[in-house]
């Protein structure tokens, strides 16, 4: 009998420590895109996970009441995105894959295994964007190298130096919404 009481009290004491004091909501979204071009078929798997965590706190410290009022606490939202291209997986902060427009022409920025590709509407690769350590991008075209970044509206800004005229040429690719 003594063993039963000790066992029950031990179970009750340990299960009290596992009480949940947070509301946690997790949402996962997986998108698979298959691209066919002259190089063959590429499969891009994009996995986005959004996690919302909210602490549970009581409004008043009423010890002998069954139904206690909870107070509103801030919700912490974390979002992670993983992209797999040709078997190479990398984690990115913000996915900039979208359609953009410059001088009436439409372009696509598509994720690849090391950064992004800039393609025209026919799917032809015009150049590549590679991320630098200070959240800018280096854009490499056939005979041109530019520095690029994304502004607050999500537009792609490419700045190219013209050595003949000694000027900086700024092209703003506007995101198509």
- Residue pair 23/54 in contact by the 8 Å Cβ criterion: yes
Quote the percentage of the chain above a pLDDT of 70.
Answer: 89
Q: How does pLDDT run across 130-168, given as a tens digit for each residue?
A: 988 887 899 999 888 999 998 888 899 999 998 899 999
| 107 vs 124: CA distance, rounded Å | 10
| Averaged pLDDT for residues 115-119 | 89
Among the listed residues 47, 44, 116, 114, the one whose alpha carbon sits nearest the alpha carbon of residue 79: 47
Residues facing 72 on adjacent strands? none
Model's pTM, two decimal places? 0.56
- Cα–Cα separations (whole angstroms), residue 140 to 36, 76, 126: 23, 38, 9
| 104 vs 127: CA distance, rounded Å | 19
- Residue pair 137/111 in contact by the 8 Å Cβ criterion: no
| 138 vs 99: CA distance, rounded Å | 19
Measured from the Cβ of residue 50, the count of other Cβ atoms closer than 10 Å reads 14
Q: What kind and span of H or E run contains 53?
A: strand 40-55
What is the per-residue pLDDT for 16?
53
Poorest-pLDDT segment among 51-55, 67-71, 91-95 = 91-95
């Amino acid at each position: 009998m003594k063993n039963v009481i000790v066992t029950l009290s031990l179970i009750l004491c340990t299960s009290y420590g596992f009480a949940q004091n947070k509301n946690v909501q997790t949402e996962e979204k997986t998108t698979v895109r298959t691209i066919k071009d002259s190089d063959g078929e590429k499969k891009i798997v994009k996995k986005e996970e959004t996690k919302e965590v909210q602490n549970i706190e009581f409004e008043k410290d009423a010890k002998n009441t069954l139904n206690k009022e909870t107070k509103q606490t801030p919700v912490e939202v974390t979002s992670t995105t993983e992209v797999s291209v040709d078997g190479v997986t990398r984690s990115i902060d913000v996915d900039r894959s979208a359609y953009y427009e410059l001088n009436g022409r439409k372009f696509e920025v598509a994720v690849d295994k090391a950064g992004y590709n800039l393609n025209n509407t026919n799917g032809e690769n015009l150049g590549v964007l590679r991320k630098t350590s200070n959240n800018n991008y280096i854009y490499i075209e056939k005979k041109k190298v530019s520095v690029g970044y994304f502004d607050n509206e999500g537009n792609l800004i490419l700045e190219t130096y013209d050595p003949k005229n000694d000027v900086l040429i700024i092209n703003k690719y506007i995101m198509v919404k």
